[in-house]
Structure 1
Amino acid sequence: MKFFSAVFLALISVHGVAKPVEDVRIDGLIQMPSTRAFDLIGFDDDKTYDSNKVYEAINSLFNSGFFSDIDVYDDQGVLVFDVVERASIGDLTISGNELVNTEDLERGLKLSGLEIGEIYKPETLNQISQELQRQYFALGRYSAKVDIKVDDMPRNRVGISIDIDEGDTAKIVHINIVGNTAFDDETLTEDFEARETGYWNPFSSADEYAKAKIDGDINTLRSFYLDQGYLDFKVVSSQVSLSSDKRDVYVVINIEEGKPYSLNDLSLSGSLPISEDLVWQHISHAQGDTFSRQEVTDIIEKISTELGNHGYLFASVNVIPEKLDDQTVNLSYQINPGSRVYVRRITFAGNSETQDEVLRREMTQFEGALAVHSKIQASKRRLERLGFFGNVNLRTRPVPGTTDLVDLEFTVLEQPSGSIQASIGFSDDDGLIYGFGISKSNFLGTGNRLSFNASKSDEYTSYSLSYRNPYFTVDGVSRGARFYYQSSDYDSDDIEDYQLDKIGAELSYGYPISDTQSLTFSLGVQETSIDLSDDPSNESEYFVDTYGDNYDDIIASITWRDNDLIGGILPTNGYSTNLNLRVTTPGSDQEYYKASLTSEKYWNIDNSNLWLFHAKGRVSYGNGYGDSEYLPFYENYYAGGAGTVRGYSSSSLGPQNSYDDDSDSNSDAMGGNFLMAGTLEVIFPLPMVEDHKSVRTAAFLDAGNVFATSCFPVSTNCTSGVDLGEIRYSVGLSWTWITPIAPLSFNVAKAINPEDDDETDFFQFRLGTAF
């Protein structure tokens, strides 16, 4: 029948005869819907056909890619298309991959047509295998292998399994730079990401070969020479050779250094809408200086910022170099300021909880005003300092159809600003800690802070309720109130046994001085009562005998704060300085004052927010005035433990109290009225940790101690004065994790210069927090 049909179709092709048919039928369909197949054939309703129409139908079916064979014949007036469908992909599995995510591999396979439900095309498998190997080769896995298996499945389907053997990463044995005479290899490779095998760092993969790493180092090399004035420098070639076992890589970079250029003439060109002096103050090099591309780049950025601060946000600044035969170069800074730009609209997105007003009041750039680069950036940074957002992005969009209007779009990523906590923790300082707290730093999206906290440990009980409105007035004057109760029952190995109860309230007002600075004034009342043990120390007994055991005080304080820390609980950049003076006012039972200066700063070592350097220092001093000769002993500062000098037991350093000869008590640390403490930290990432925003590891050096500038007349163990030789030091490692329940921190520290009477702790940790 098929043979007869082929002959018959050939005859009508010759004579061009169109034959009517009773029907058209398609046999062999399994997965393709018949409606789609008939659409591909595309016969008209008149049901006539000739050979051209048949051939067109066959081509249309083949071009769909679904069929591997098609026969056509006439079965008693019925035109039959007998098709054989290609198999479809019924299952796709990938195994053995660790370096490359399965999702990324599946995305790449999809682009190549290898996806569940798609037509199986055997000819693509070899291409896919080669492409996967190429990706692993680029990662330095030259021994990687890709094995693809195809298994038949029911209903004309196949299952494809891709088994990847990633192999071992080839190591860089030697990096050789050829053609350098002005600089040695060590200098040129100092900033390379790649390192030769033998470079030891347990957390580094610098000696593992990757093409992208070498390409980046070549760009680093090029930048180095251009920064040294070698304008004719070029990389002639780079070769990577592989050992026979595919484990060792040898990198050779051939260069031509040329000669360094110095600056001959500097000029400005183009249209200059501001004073030339404002531009020239940013041009830091002069005639005779060695050319540096990095310096030129910095100057261009500074000039662009200067123009942006005058409203020319889209100014274009380019440098035109003219190389001269005497190895000098003329530089012309060409300025095209564009139009002066105004802000039409400022919008916010992503703040589902925080009210627009809270964000808008942080703006130093206003709608309808001249767009000023510094004000726009200051607005962004003020939003970051709020602490409500994990990320703040800014987009400057030109208004279509205009050249002098822009819209500013701030997109924020809100992070939790409140918590309800019930926790059980433990610390070396206070033993078991039971805590409950309700805190909201962005109460009802208003930016106000409301918190209630309660906690209890073996040594203290504390309750506090506080509220703060950072914008009590539209000018940014803040108002806060706090009510608190504290009961401390000291009975540890390092502090004298007595009970101290405090209850008080205070009202505060803060006044902004600048974007980062503020002054806060507060006034509070406090009732304090002391209950000494049956065997008090000479110092505490003397103080109570002299001044009583119950005090009603009015306490005033002033705080100057300069805070530009970014990153919330675990800062990554910026600085903070606090200066506080706290004094009892006339009419109080006590007469004393306390002053404290605390400052810290973070440096981003590699702009990754992972490698940081942190320095922090604190100096505190207090004393009595008027009829009070001494700072109350319960207001003393203490040193040792977390917060001052790790590696020493909590509150164990400094002067000690004394007891009568017939007492059974041992001397304890009684603190002092002068405290000095400092910390230097190198913060580094752990390779197995992904969330570095909640986990931090650091190596630290601590130093500090407390001193008594004057001793009680009954003291026998106290030496007055400040002796810097008594400063204690420690080194160690710290690990902090901000858990969903409470902060968890570990410290492993070694006391460097302990005295015989010092109490040391090699390991300290804290789970939970005291409110």
Structure 2
Amino acid sequence: MRVVLAVLLTLISVQSIAKAVEDVRIDGLVQMPSARAFDLIGFNENQSYDSGKVYQAISALFDTGFFSDIDVYEENKVLIFKLVERPSIGNLTIEGNELVKTEDLERGLKLSGLEIGEIYKPETLNQIAQELQRQYYALGRYSAKVDISVEDMPRNRTGIKINIDEGDTAKIVHINIVGNNSFDEETLTKDFESRETGYWNPFSSADEYAKAKIQGDINTLKSFYLDNGYLDFQVVSSQVSLSSDKRDVYIVVNVDEGQPYFLNDVTLSGSLPIAEDRVWKQITQKKGDLFSRSQVTEIIEGISTELGDDGYLFTNVNVIPEKLDNHTVNLSYQITPGPQVYVRRITFSGNSETQDEVLRREMTQFEGALATHSKIQSSKRRIERLGFFGNVDLRTRPVAGTTDQVDIDVVVEEQASGSIQASIGYSQEDGTVLGFGISKRNFLGTGNKLSFSASRTDSTQDYSINYDNPYFTVDGVSRGFQIFYQTSDHADDDVEDYDLDEIGVGVSYGYPISDTQRLTFGMTVKESTVKLGYDPSNETANYVDTHGDNYDDVIASLTWSDNDLVGGVLPTNGYSTKATLEVALPVGDQQYAKVGLTSQKYWNLSGSDLWLFRLKGRLGYGAGYGDSDALPFFENYYAGGAYSVRGYGASSLGPQNSYDDEDTSTSALGGNILMTGTAELIFPLPMVEDHKSVRTSIFLDGGNVFTDACLSTNTDCNEGVDLDEIRFSLGFSWTWITPIAPLSFNFARPLNAQDGDSTDVFQFQLGTTF
């Protein structure tokens, strides 16, 4: 920089006496437009100048940051500014970053003026390096290094290369709470996100240090003490120490516990627009109870909800604590209800596919009606239960210029509600496999369900069409239709030697009992034809000999369902239960009945929809009545495979059939009693960002099928339920909701497989979830 020399030359040349300049010339401009440079200099032709004006011009040029050197001199009454521009940034590369995205780093560098096309300023590089290191330090990467190199490029440009060594995350070696007399460290840290090294969890990074995580843990510590009555609790200080190799972190938190406070009195104040006893029902505290901030928060929410159900949505509830000398406290709940609020308008957004009517008919809160908290929450829950949306948010917005009206904005995030299934393959059992199916739970955005499937193997063909309208009437009565055709030819496979053809149609009507419960009545008419082959099993042949080979049946069904699942294809909360009764009526050729119960429930373990626990169970029983003494063999239950007990071959468990020829290989007979269950721990994978479409879990499956009607000649068949025959498997499941269809992989290890069991460690599914 030669600014001092330039100024001295200027002072000498003008001798501090104002002189007129006939012209002004600027040499060396490349990046800056000449018009801007002349504006900064501020000289015009025939304008007088002196040393002060020249110094101001030089300062203005340097302040732009464009120039590294400026000379000013006079030649033949022409004032010449000779400028040396800084180079511009012609190339910017970032390497070595994996933890922080390149676009995030580029965004931060842009704010610091480091961007392609900007002027290169060497003095900013050190600041940028320090800022990048600071970001990595906050993530616990204390060994991170940032190296910035600069190289010249043609046309007065500079290339900048930032090489980042992210290093390793420092591990938390020890967390020490000092000053805790009432609670031990294990109790105080059990809800911490941070864990000491040695806490084993293959999918957890709890022992990796992060400043934000530690601050969250300190807030958790404060909440713990306030929930246990310690109103005077304080965090005196917190220190983070780093080992010399920057790999180990030691955390010390100094606290002052104080003494626990107990309630002396609880009072209400303010305006109560509803009966006072309704408010007192929400207050669960009484004299002598230990103070708890979380309980106070719950009471405030309960009071707000109680008044919200009468239209006072904007109720303000404050709690005023008054500490007394004997470590007791008076609590006063001060209520300011505001006016009753009515709903002016309900709008929907985010539903690009789903029609507004589909959402509006789920609303229990109506336009023009008193706005109530319970109806708004009920509306949200009903929309979530549709399963069409990954996220549902109901927002109340005050109407400008009024105090008693709100608009409700229903904002949804649509997710895939349909799937296309297409498959081609080959298997030892079925030969060539061809399949195609379309399922749409939100057909044309109407909320109706339409599905069509067709599959064909060397031995089977299966075609079906299903349609269901959940709002056949405005009162929520549903109507559904079903058409199906199935045919099988087992003459050339190892399962059975018979053909079975089934064709039928069905209709059903569902009646809502409550927001979650529904009662459905159905009627199906079908024709079944059995053609025995050369060597059918004794069980199959015996049924055909007794009941014939052609059956025209009328099947009545009754289904009760209670569904409160939230989350769509991959639920995250709630439960569902379905009980079914199917009866083949005496007007048909066969007389049998089947009852079934399926139930599942999700528990949210972390409150973030990432750690979940799921239980699922299924029970089934079927039997003949009247002139039929057994359940038809083709109506038997089966177990094993991806839809029941993973790790075992599909439909391979349970009693085996029998043949007169002892050398003939047997296969699963199925049974009229079914028992299966699943316990599943769902957890997030660290490398996955979209947990709404990807799910991983560890599962324990168990189950089997049994029969209470064995042929007397089948010595390998035992009647009744034997719990010792329950098969178990342990495994890992991965599911991805692709744009086409759900894709699932199951890896399962049988835990108690017996001789003769068919096992299948790996199972793959496309188009459904288990």
Q: Tell me the TM-score normalized by structure 1.
A: 0.93
Q: 1:643 to 1:684 in 2, by over 3 A?
A: same
**2:763 matched to which residue of 1?**
765
Matches within 5 A, 1:56-135: 56-135=56-135
Superimposed CA distance per residue, residues 86-128 of structure 1 (whole angstroms, 9 cap, x where no aligned partner): 2222222211222211111111111111112222222222211
> Could you say what secondary structure the match of 2:114 adopts?
coil
**1:685 matched to which residue of 2?**
684
* C-alpha contact (below 8 Å) 1:176/1:253 kept by paired residues: yes
Mean CA deviation greater in 101-110 or 74-83? 74-83
**1:748 matched to which residue of 2?**
747
**1:201 matched to which residue of 2?**
201
Q: 1:61 to 1:655 in 2, by over 3 A?
A: same
Matched, 1:244 2:241: no
- Deviation for aligned residue 1:526: 0.5
**1:672 matched to which residue of 2?**
671
Q: Distance in 2 between matches of 1:12 and 1:404?
A: 76
* C-alpha contact (below 8 Å) 2:454/2:462 kept by paired residues: yes
**1:231 matched to which residue of 2?**
231
> Could you say what secondary structure the match of 2:110 adopts?
helix
Matches within 5 A, 1:525-674: 525-660=525-660, 662=661, 664-674=663-673
**2:702 matched to which residue of 1?**
703
* C-alpha contact (below 8 Å) 2:346/2:407 kept by paired residues: yes
Q: Distance in 2 between matches of 1:350 and 1:738?
A: 20
* C-alpha contact (below 8 Å) 1:621/1:673 kept by paired residues: yes
**1:318 matched to which residue of 2?**
318
Q: Distance in 2 between matches of 1:429 and 1:691?
A: 38
> Could you say what secondary structure the match of 2:510 adopts?
strand
Q: Distance in 1 between matches of 2:622 and 2:82?
A: 100
Q: Distance in 2 between matches of 1:594 and 1:4?
A: 107
Q: 1:654 to 1:255 in 2, by over 3 A?
A: same
* C-alpha contact (below 8 Å) 2:22/2:47 kept by paired residues: no
- Deviation for aligned residue 1:56: 4.8
Q: Distance in 1 between matches of 2:767 and 2:146?
A: 52
The residue identity in structure 1 corresponding to 2:683 is F
**1:414 matched to which residue of 2?**
414
Q: Distance in 2 between matches of 1:307 and 1:618?
A: 42
* C-alpha contact (below 8 Å) 2:537/2:658 kept by paired residues: yes
> Could you say what secondary structure the match of 1:380 adopts?
helix
- Deviation for aligned residue 1:149: 1.6
* C-alpha contact (below 8 Å) 2:143/2:246 kept by paired residues: yes
Q: Distance in 2 between matches of 1:182 and 1:468?
A: 61
Superimposed CA distance per residue, residues 666-689 of structure 1 (whole angstroms, 9 cap, x where no aligned partner): 443322222122111111223333
Superimposed CA distance per residue, residues 588-638 of structure 1 (whole angstroms, 9 cap, x where no aligned partner): 111111111100011111122221100011111111222222211111112
- Deviation for aligned residue 1:759: 0.3
Q: 1:256 to 1:543 in 2, by over 3 A?
A: same
Tell me the C-alpha RMSD between the 2 structures: 2.7
Q: 1:207 to 1:770 in 2, by over 3 A?
A: closer
The residue identity in structure 2 corresponding to 1:761 is T
**1:438 matched to which residue of 2?**
438
- Deviation for aligned residue 1:763: 0.3
Q: 1:522 to 1:566 in 2, by over 3 A?
A: same
Superimposed CA distance per residue, residues 29-81 of structure 1 (whole angstroms, 9 cap, x where no aligned partner): 1111122223334557x853444655554443333332334344444444433
Q: Distance in 1 between matches of 2:150 and 2:9?
A: 39
Q: Distance in 1 between matches of 2:429 and 2:156?
A: 71
Mean CA deviation greater in 325-334 or 200-209? 200-209
The residue identity in structure 2 corresponding to 1:549 is D
> Could you say what secondary structure the match of 2:312 adopts?
coil
> Could you say what secondary structure the match of 2:403 adopts?
coil
Matched, 1:506 2:506: yes
Matched, 1:295 2:329: no
**1:331 matched to which residue of 2?**
331
Q: 1:428 to 1:275 in 2, by over 3 A?
A: farther
- Deviation for aligned residue 1:656: 3.1
> Could you say what secondary structure the match of 1:92 adopts?
strand
- Deviation for aligned residue 1:505: 0.9
> Could you say what secondary structure the match of 2:757 adopts?
coil
**2:725 matched to which residue of 1?**
726
The residue identity in structure 2 corresponding to 1:300 is I
* C-alpha contact (below 8 Å) 1:427/1:765 kept by paired residues: no
> Could you tell me the percent identity over the aligned residues?
70
> Could you say what secondary structure the match of 2:568 adopts?
coil
Q: 1:42 to 1:474 in 2, by over 3 A?
A: farther
> Could you say what secondary structure the match of 1:61 adopts?
helix
* C-alpha contact (below 8 Å) 1:749/1:761 kept by paired residues: no
Q: Distance in 2 between matches of 1:703 and 1:492?
A: 32
* C-alpha contact (below 8 Å) 1:425/1:767 kept by paired residues: no
Q: Distance in 2 between matches of 1:409 and 1:28?
A: 60
* C-alpha contact (below 8 Å) 2:553/2:590 kept by paired residues: yes
Superimposed CA distance per residue, residues 8-34 of structure 1 (whole angstroms, 9 cap, x where no aligned partner): 644544xxx7x4x54433222111112
- Deviation for aligned residue 1:663: 5.7
> Could you say what secondary structure the match of 1:370 adopts?
coil
**1:256 matched to which residue of 2?**
256
> Could you say what secondary structure the match of 2:125 adopts?
helix
The residue identity in structure 2 corresponding to 1:259 is Q
Q: Distance in 2 between matches of 1:226 and 1:466?
A: 57
**1:25 matched to which residue of 2?**
25
Q: Distance in 2 between matches of 1:705 and 1:120?
A: 73
**1:172 matched to which residue of 2?**
172
Q: 1:761 to 1:755 in 2, by over 3 A?
A: closer
**1:151 matched to which residue of 2?**
151
Mean CA deviation greater in 433-442 or 24-33? 433-442
**2:453 matched to which residue of 1?**
453
Q: 1:710 to 1:418 in 2, by over 3 A?
A: closer
Q: 1:428 to 1:113 in 2, by over 3 A?
A: farther
Q: 1:421 to 1:731 in 2, by over 3 A?
A: closer
* C-alpha contact (below 8 Å) 2:94/2:162 kept by paired residues: yes
Q: Distance in 2 between matches of 1:504 and 1:439?
A: 20
Q: Distance in 2 between matches of 1:508 and 1:514?
A: 19
- Deviation for aligned residue 1:456: 1.8
Q: Distance in 2 between matches of 1:714 and 1:242?
A: 77
Q: Distance in 2 between matches of 1:611 and 1:491?
A: 48
Q: Distance in 2 between matches of 1:565 and 1:492?
A: 44
Aligned residues: 763
Q: Tell me the TM-score normalized by structure 2.
A: 0.93
Q: Distance in 2 between matches of 1:594 and 1:485?
A: 21
Q: Distance in 1 between matches of 2:492 and 2:113?
A: 72
> Could you say what secondary structure the match of 2:658 adopts?
coil
**1:735 matched to which residue of 2?**
734
> Could you say what secondary structure the match of 1:217 adopts?
helix
Q: 1:41 to 1:5 in 2, by over 3 A?
A: closer
Superimposed CA distance per residue, residues 350-369 of structure 1 (whole angstroms, 9 cap, x where no aligned partner): 22222222222221111111
Q: Distance in 2 between matches of 1:49 and 1:425?
A: 92
Q: Distance in 1 between matches of 2:686 and 2:10?
A: 72
Matches within 5 A, 1:358-373: 358-373=358-373
Q: Distance in 1 between matches of 2:426 and 2:576?
A: 29
The residue identity in structure 2 corresponding to 1:630 is A
The residue identity in structure 2 corresponding to 1:722 is V
Superimposed CA distance per residue, residues 534-575 of structure 1 (whole angstroms, 9 cap, x where no aligned partner): 222232222111211111111221211111212222222111
Q: Distance in 2 between matches of 1:595 and 1:50?
A: 105
Q: 1:490 to 1:742 in 2, by over 3 A?
A: farther
Superimposed CA distance per residue, residues 476-522 of structure 1 (whole angstroms, 9 cap, x where no aligned partner): 22222111111133479985332211111111222222222212222
The residue identity in structure 2 corresponding to 1:228 is N
